[in-house]
Structure 1
Amino acid sequence: MRRRNLIFSLPLALGVPTLGWAADAEAGDRPDKPPGYPVSLDQMQQAVAQRFPRRYPVQGLLDLDLKAPRLRLLPEQNRLRAQMAVEAAGPALNRRHQGSFDVDFGLRYEASDRTLRAHQLRLARLEFPTLQPRVTEMINLYAPALADQSLREVVLHELTAKDLAAVDAMGMQPGPITVTNNGLVIGLVLKPL
Structure 2
Amino acid sequence: MRRRHLLSLAASPLTLLCACAAAQPSYTVSLRQMQQALDGRFPRSYPVAGLLDLQLQTPRPALLPERNQINAVADVQASGPLLRRSHGGTFDVDFALRYEPSDRTLRAHDLCVNALRLDGLRPQAAQALALYGQQLADQSLREVVLHQLQPKDLALADGLGVQPESITVTPQGLVVRFGNKPRP
Q: Same fold (TM over 0.5)?
A: yes
Counterpart of 2:156 in structure 1 is 166
Deviations, residues 112-136 of structure 1 (Å, cap 9, x unaligned): 0100000001111111231011211
1:115 matched to 2:105? The reply is yes
Aligned runs of 1:34-183 on 2, under 5 Å? Answer: 36-183=26-173
Q: CA separation in 2, counterparts of 1:12 and 1:173?
A: 11
Q: Which amino acid aligns with 1:63?
A: D
Structure 2, unaligned runs of 5 or more: 1-14
Q: Distance in 2 between matches of 1:9 and 1:75?
A: 30
Deviation digits for residues 77-126 of structure 1, max 9, x if unmatched?
A: 00001101111111222221111111111000000010000000111111
Runs of 4+ in 1 over 6 A off after TM superposition: 6-9
Match of 2:7 in 1: none
Letter in 1 for 2:45: R
CA 1:69–1:106: 2 relative to 1, 3 Å = same
Instruction: Please say which of residues 183-192 and 79-88 is displaced more in the overlay.
Output: 183-192
Q: Percent same amino acid at aligned positions?
A: 55
Report the count of equivalent residues.
Answer: 169
The whole-number CA distance in structure 1 between the counterparts of 2:71 and 2:16 is 32
**Which piece of structure 1 moves more, 68-77 or 82-91?**
82-91
Deviations, residues 57-85 of structure 1 (Å, cap 9, x unaligned): 12222111111000000000000011011
Structure 1 match to 2:177: 187
Q: Name the SS for the 1:52 alignment partner.
A: coil
Deviation at 1:48, TM superposition (A): 1.2
Per-residue deviation at 1:165?
1.2
Give the counterpart of 1:10 among 3, 6, 19: 19
Give how far 1:155 is off: 0.5
Q: Secondary structure at the match of 2:38?
A: helix
SS in 2 for 1:60: coil
Distance 1:36 1:156, change over 3 A: same
Deviation at 1:8, TM superposition (A): 9.5
Unaligned 5+ runs, structure 1: 1-5, 14-20, 23-34
Residue pair 2:77, 2:86 contacting (<8 A) in 1 also:
yes
- Structure showing greater radius of gyration is 2
